[in-house]
Structure 1
Amino acid sequence: MHVGTALGAVGVVGGLLFTGIATYYSAAVSKDQLRQSREMVEQEKQAALEERQQQAARVSVWVDGGIPGTLHLMNRSPDPVTQVVIRIWHQDAAALPGEKAGTGVPGHVAFEMGVLPPCTVYAIPASIWGQQSYDDLQPGEEAWFDSDVKGVYFRDRNGERWFRSESGLRYIGRQSPHANVSNRVVLALSAKYAKVALDCNDDG
């Protein structure tokens, strides 16, 4: 083999090796750029979601004190939320709150509250939202409440609809708070059930 031919072969091999290495690094860089781009998109989506639910995240609902318990509804934002509807399951959806449950069909009841003021927490006794059941009640026993708070629907200051339960916050869009509801009750609460909510701001 001539020296020139040998050098040429080495040059070809070297060129191919260089091309292979360059291609590898180029692919690695492209893959890393794609990963970074996806991370940026996810971060932007998360930031947009946090901004969108800024006020909604300050609305909470929970029940404490066992059975029957006290229902707490809180708005820790400096603006009111509107079209507030508390969804509660009753053993007898046709009976009014506080009344003895009859033989009606179980179902969900929508308690229409209207407006939840800013920086406010309501402590609502079960005698207002719950339902007494006398099924299998023995002499001397007290009536018990057969109700289950599912959560609260509301509209934020931007007109967005949300549903908050003890398990979390969910955006519901155009979903109606009265879907699959068996009964509707207007809930007019006295100011004696309201207190000032602490840590009231828009900081999350």
Structure 2
Amino acid sequence: MIRLYDYYRSSASYRVRIALNLKGLDYERVDVNLLDGSQRSDEYRARNPQGLVPLLEIDGAQLTQSLSIVNYLNGVYPDPPLAPADPVAAAHVRSMAQVVASDIHPLNNLRVLNYVTDVLGHDEEERAQWYAHWVTEGFEALEQLAIRHGGEYLSGGLPGLADLCLVPQMYNARRFDIALDDYPTLVAYDAKANALDAFQAAHPDKIG
């Protein structure tokens, strides 16, 4: 049994759902409601001391951090691959994934946004400006990287690591009314990936 501790709108969890679907793996979802603080419960922290989602229970292990989980899945279940075989091409794919997973998303996840308002005292308009700034800065760079290094999909000939990071971030950008007109390449890659069953089945609207 593969068990995913998940919140339907968590970008990091969304990535893992896509990866599991691309690998054709069946799994059980356990909802961890981030809005009511379930992730901070003693019971959940016993599984994941960070109190974050996702957490994947698989093969007797408890795995945390979305990209670590995805790399594990790609190593244990290599077909279809989530990155090209060529080392340089694979490095570009990982770089594009990291623009989202390391540079955009950590600054804009729920606990950071709550800190901006609840602790630092900024109002909702300033919170929205904070969110938009980091998405825009990241997408400006990612658009250029996509033009240089994308293939049929952002990850190359097959959908993979860069795509499963891009799609949740694009979903969030639309939720927060971020204009995407300046990123036509990202919009096109997002649409291409979202036409696939593996991405559609992982969409928050199908989960929540």
- Normalised by the length of structure 2, the TM-score is 0.22
- Normalised by the length of structure 1, the TM-score is 0.22
Larger Rg: 1
Between structures 1 and 2, the one with greater helix share: 2
Between structures 1 and 2, the one with greater strand share: 1
